[in-house]
Amino acid sequence: MTKVAIIDDHDLLRFGLKTVLSHSGDLEFVGERPNGEGASAFLKEVGADVVVLDLRMPVVDGLAALEDIRANAPGVKVLVLTTSDVEEDILSVHRIGVEGYALKTLSPKAIVDAIRAVARGERFLSEEVRAVLESYDSSGELSTREREILEFMSKGLSNPDIAKILGISAGTIKKHAQHLYDKMGVSDRAEAVARAFARGLLKVAFAGATVAFALGASADIPAPLFHDAYTADPAPLVSGGRMYLYVGHDADDADRLKMPDWMCYSTADGTNWVSHGVVASPTNFSWAAENRAWAAQCVERNGKFYLYTSGRTKNGANAVGVLVTDSPSGPFHDPIGRPLVARTNGDIDPTVLVDDDGKVYLYWGLADLYVARLSDDMISFDTSFGTDGVFRPGRPRYYHSGPWVWKRGGKYYMAYSSRKIPVGVAYATADAPEGPWTFVDWFVQADVRSPSTQVGIAEFLGKSWIFGYNYELYAERTPAPRPHRERRSVWMLPLEYIDDGRIREVTW
C-alpha cells in the first residue's frame, strides 16, 4: 500500500480526497494538515510515501513547505495539487523540483491516477502546466553576453554604463538587449527583468540595505533598495516566513505622478530580495483612472490577502479601493465593483491595523484623518462605528497624508507625512485605535534631496524595520539639471525605539 498524506487548507477537498483514497484499494490515507507548517516532520511522523500539497495556504504556504520537504524529507514524493496555473507558481515549483503538478480541475479518478504515477516514480503534469514548461525560456537559450547584460539591467545600469563595464559600444548593447527581448517575448527592460526573476534567470534583486540589515543598527538613509524600477510608497507585509514589500511603480518617463501599477518584492532574510513584478494596477478596477497607482497596503486575513489602494475614479474623484487574492503575489481582483470609499478629496493613502482583539481598522486621509472599522468580510465598513462607519478623530499636529498605524507595548503609533516642504515624517501616539492622537516627535528628518516621502513599518526576524523613499536612483541615473520630479526609489533601515518608547529619528 502506498501511504498518502494531504496538506491543504480546504476542509472539503481533504474530506473528498480521503474518501476517494479509501476506495482506491492501493492507496492508504495516513494524515492531514491545513497548512505547510512543520511539513517535513509531519510526513516523517506519519511515514508518508507521497504527499498531496496545495500551494496557497495560510501560515506557511506550499512553496515554503516544498523547500522544507526537499531539504528534510527528500524520500517523500510530492504531487502539487492546486488551482494555480499561473506561470510564476509553475516555474517556482519547477525550480525546487517535484514529481507532479496537477490542477484541481481534474476529476477524482484523474487525481488518484496522478498519485499512483508519482508513487511509481513517474512525472505527472496537467496539460496546462506542461504547456507552460514547454514554452519556458531557460537561461541556456540566452547567450553568455545576453545573460551578462540582463544581470546589469537588474541592477539599474543604463546601456552606456553597461557598455563602459563590458568595453563595447552602447549601440552593441542595444542590439544585444533587443535580441534578449525577442527571445523572452518582452518589449522593454523592465518587463525583461521582471520576467527573468519570475523564471529564475535572475535569482536575487539588488538590495541596498544588506549592511544595515546585517548590523541591525541605525544608519543614514541608504542607497536605493531596488534598481530594476522606480518605486515609491512602500508597504511591508510579513506572511509565511517572508516579508513582502508592495510599492507603487513610477514610470520611467514620469513627470509628476505617473504610476501605472503596483509591484511586489519579497525576502526570507531581509537581504536577498526576489521581484514578483507587477501584481496589480488600476485596470483591475472598472471604475479607476489609469496611472493612478498611488499608496496601497496589503494585509492578510482569513486566508486571503486584501490590497487597499488609493487613486482616482474616472470622474476625477480621489478614492480608496480594495482588491483581494489567495496569494500575496496575486493575481488580485476587485470583489465589490466600486470604490470602498470616495466621499471627499481626502480619500487616499489607506493603512490597516489588525488589533489584538481581532478588530480591523482602516485609516486614510489627505489633510484630514479618517478611520473606519472594517466588517468581518474586510470589504465593507462596520456602520456601528462612527457616522455611517467613518470616524474623524482629529489630525495630530503637522499631519498631511500617508498615515501608517501599528501597535507596540499596548500603545498605538501613527507615522505620517508632514505639512511642511521638504516633507519629513512625524509620529503620534494614542491609547485607543480611534485616537485621539498626540504628536510626539519627528521620525524621518526632512531634506531638500527628498521633497516628499512616505513610510511603512514591519516587524521581521525579531527586528523593527522602516521603509521610505527618496530620489537617489533618479539622481544617480540622470545628470543635473533634473526636470522630472516623481521618479523615486525605496530604502530600508532598522527602526530603533528609545527606552521610553520614543522612536530614534532617521537622518540623512
**What local confidence, expressed as pLDDT, does residue 188 receive?**
79
pLDDT value at 211 more than 50: no
Beta strand residue intervals within 190-295, DSSP E: 230-239, 242-250, 261-267, 273-280
**What local confidence, expressed as pLDDT, does residue 219 receive?**
45
pLDDT value at 456 more than 60: yes
**pLDDT, tens digit, for every residue of 75-126?**
999 999 999 887 768 877 887 888 999 999 999 999 999 999 999 989 899 9
pTM of the model: 0.60
* pLDDT grade for 20, boundaries at 50, 70 and 90: very high
| Lookup: cell for 318 | 480621489
**What local confidence, expressed as pLDDT, does residue 342 receive?**
93
Give the residue-averaged pLDDT of 134-157.
Answer: 68
Residue 13 is given by DSSP the state H
Closest to 119 measured CA to CA, from 42, 35, 48: 48
| Lookup: cell for 252 | 520611467
**What local confidence, expressed as pLDDT, does residue 376 receive?**
95
pLDDT value at 215 more than 60: no
415 vs 487: which has the higher pLDDT: 415
284 vs 155: which has the higher pLDDT: 284
**What local confidence, expressed as pLDDT, does residue 30 receive?**
95
| Lookup: cell for 503 | 522612536
Percent of the chain with pLDDT over 90: 56
Residue where the block lists cell 480621489: 318
Mean pLDDT over the full length of the chain:
86
**What local confidence, expressed as pLDDT, does residue 186 receive?**
77
Q: Could you tell me if 472 and 482 are in contact, meaning their C-beta atoms sit under 8 angstroms apart?
A: no
| Lookup: cell for 359 | 478588530
* pLDDT grade for 480, boundaries at 50, 70 and 90: low
| Lookup: cell for 204 | 536575487
**pLDDT, tens digit, for every residue of 236-271?**
999 988 999 999 999 988 777 889 999 999 988 888
421 vs 412: which has the higher pLDDT: 412
pLDDT value at 478 more than 80: no
pLDDT value at 66 more than 60: yes
The lowest-confidence range among 73-77, 384-388, 410-414 is 384-388
**How far apart, in whole angstroms, are the C-alpha atoms of residue 327 and residue 58?**
9
**pLDDT, tens digit, for every residue of 146-185?**
887 887 787 667 787 787 767 777 888 888 888 788 777 7
Q: Could you tell me if 412 and 420 are in contact, meaning their C-beta atoms sit under 8 angstroms apart?
A: no
Per the rule left: phi > 0, alpha: psi between -120 and 50, beta: everything else, 256 is left
Give the residue-averaged pLDDT of 455-460.
Answer: 95
**How far apart, in whole angstroms, are the C-alpha atoms of residue 341 and residue 324?**
16
Per the rule left: phi > 0, alpha: psi between -120 and 50, beta: everything else, 217 is beta
- CA–chain centroid gap for 103, Å, is 24
152 vs 311: which has the higher pLDDT: 311
Distances (CA, A) of 256 to 246, 291, 301, 483: 21, 11, 34, 10
